């Protein structure tokens, strides 16, 4: 049985209670919980035009809703350490609003209007006092808005994205020239630093169809040059060098987004060099955040822009490895940290094997060849 179908068959047998018995925390979230499970059903359901999977996506949204906690009562408590993830697309209630909007847009019925309104409200509420970063803050809100707008360019989402982009541009540069000074190594990372803001802004530029401001391009090039010249400036823990969240797979993804927005050769070259560094480092687990699924996704993104090079074959190796990871090795069920990424990657692999242009063979010589290539 195909890895996706095996996963979907298993998830179909789970109820709210048996899902709760599997993990102790973050049951509603996109990162760890049921909103992530709903996302993977939506993603593959729309790829395959499968009404059964889209119905399951709605069932998982109901399960996620039943675990969602109410927003903290005051602005002060939102900003406290405990309530901080309230603003997070990955950990907070916005992830659920995001997947509900995707499902409603695919259905194309009257629920779409309601969910656009609900998502816009959720962003307004979650962005108050939020940090600028991707995982817990405004860059995540803009990235999600760009993800939806690219598929369904609604005017209200356009206005929302423009507002978020203006907020993120503040502080991208400091003094008379150049980007904001990097205060600590963590400031550069995709998850919590400058690169996450760059990803959101380049994604918004591509989705909304405008040329990114020059100071964004300058800020990204300076951050990338710093990371490539001094790896510890990006990632002080070398075991995370291969990751999306804190490592060079993250830099590669931003470089591809920059290339899509700018059409320049410089960014795709940055993506190549960052990707090689990520591959050399390897990964600590199977997840999208820190592990092989993240490497695979970055490789597929680079492959789309440099299709004559063997990146796709390397992506397949990573995907095969994710698909064969033992179920008990996964720490959660969600999309960013858990098993819900499996059907999304399996679908990418399958789509590729159905396309006559792409090579899905995995010749053993491909890895040395790649390192010879650069
Ligand atoms: Zn991570």
Residues 311-347 have pLDDT tens digits of 999 999 999 999 999 988 898 999 999 999 999 999 8
- Cα of 235 to ligand 1 centre, how many Å? 12
- Cα of 352 to ligand 1 centre, how many Å? 26
Cβ contacts of 303 within 8 Å, gap of 6 or more: 309, 311, 312, 315
- Cα of 133 to ligand 1 centre, how many Å? 14
Phi and psi of 99, rounded to 5°? -70, -35
- Cα of 298 to ligand 1 centre, how many Å? 14
Do 307 and 8 contact (CB within 8 A), yes or no? no
- Cα of 290 to ligand 1 centre, how many Å? 3
Cβ contacts of 111 within 8 Å, gap of 6 or more: 104
Residues that place a CB less than 5 A from ion ligand 1: 245, 289-290
Q: Does residue 126 sit in helix, strand or coil?
A: helix
Q: What is the mean pLDDT of the segment spanning 235-258?
A: 94
- Cα of 91 to ligand 1 centre, how many Å? 13
Mean pLDDT of the chain: 87
Q: Is the pLDDT of residue 172 over 80?
A: no
- Burial of residue 67 (CB within 10 Å: 0-12, 13-18, 19+) is middle
Q: What is the mean pLDDT of the segment spanning 241-256?
A: 96
**The pLDDT of residue 30:** 94
| pTM for the full predicted model | 0.89
Point out the least confidently predicted range of 63-77, 129-143, 360-374: 360-374
Give CA–CA dist 250/242, Å, rounded.
8
Q: How confident is the model at residue 3 (pLDDT cuts 50, 70, 90)?
A: confident
- Cα of 260 to ligand 1 centre, how many Å? 24
Q: What is the mean pLDDT of the segment spanning 94-113?
A: 94
Q: What is the mean pLDDT of the segment spanning 214-235?
A: 94
Q: How confident is the model at residue 23 (pLDDT cuts 50, 70, 90)?
A: confident
């Amino acid at each position: 049985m195909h890895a996706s179908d095996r996963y979907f068959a298993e998830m179909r047998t789970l109820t709210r209670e048996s899902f709760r018995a599997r993990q102790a925390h973050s049951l509603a979230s996109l990162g760890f919980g049921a909103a992530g499970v709903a996302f993977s059903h939506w993603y593959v359901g729309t790829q395959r035009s499968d009404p059964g999977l889209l119905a399951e996506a709605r069932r998982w949204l109901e399960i996620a809703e039943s675990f969602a906690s109410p927003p903290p009562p005051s602005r002060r408590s939102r900003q406290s350490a405990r309530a901080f993830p309230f603003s997070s697309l990955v950990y907070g209630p916005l992830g659920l609003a995001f997947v509900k909007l995707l499902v409603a847009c695919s259905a194309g019925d009257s629920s779409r209007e309601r969910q656009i309104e609900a998502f816009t409200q959720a962003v307004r509420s979650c962005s108050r006092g939020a940090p600028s970063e991707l995982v817990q803050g405004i860059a995540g809100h803009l990235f999600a808005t760009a993800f939806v707008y690219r598929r369904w360019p609604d005017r209200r989402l356009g206005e929302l994205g423009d507002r978020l982009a203006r907020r993120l541009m503040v502080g991208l540069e400091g003094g008379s020239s150049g980007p904001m000074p990097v205060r600590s190594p963590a400031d550069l990372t995709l998850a919590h630093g400058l690169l996450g803001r760059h990803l959101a802004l380049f994604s918004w530029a591509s989705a909304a169809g405008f040329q990114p401001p020059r100071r964004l391009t300058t800020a990204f090039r300076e951050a990338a040059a710093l990371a490539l010249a001094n790896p510890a400036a990006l990632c002080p823990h070398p075991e995370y060098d291969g990751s999306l969240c804190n490592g060079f797979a993250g830099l590669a993804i931003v470089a591809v987004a920059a290339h899509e927005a700018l059409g320049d050769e410089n960014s795709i070259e940055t993506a190549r060099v960052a990707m090689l560094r990520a591959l050399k480092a390897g990964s600590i687990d199977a997840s999208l955040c820190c592990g092989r699924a993240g490497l695979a996704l970055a490789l597929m993104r680079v492959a789309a822009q440099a299709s004559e090079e063997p990146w796709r074959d390397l992506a397949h190796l990573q995907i095969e490895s994710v698909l064969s990871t033992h179920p008990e090795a996964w720490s959660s069920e969600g999309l960013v940290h858990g098993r819900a990424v499996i059907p999304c990657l399996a679908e990418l692999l399958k789509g590729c094997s159905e396309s006559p242009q792409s090579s899905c063979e995995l010749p053993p010589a491909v890895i040395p060849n790649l390192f010879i290539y650069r």
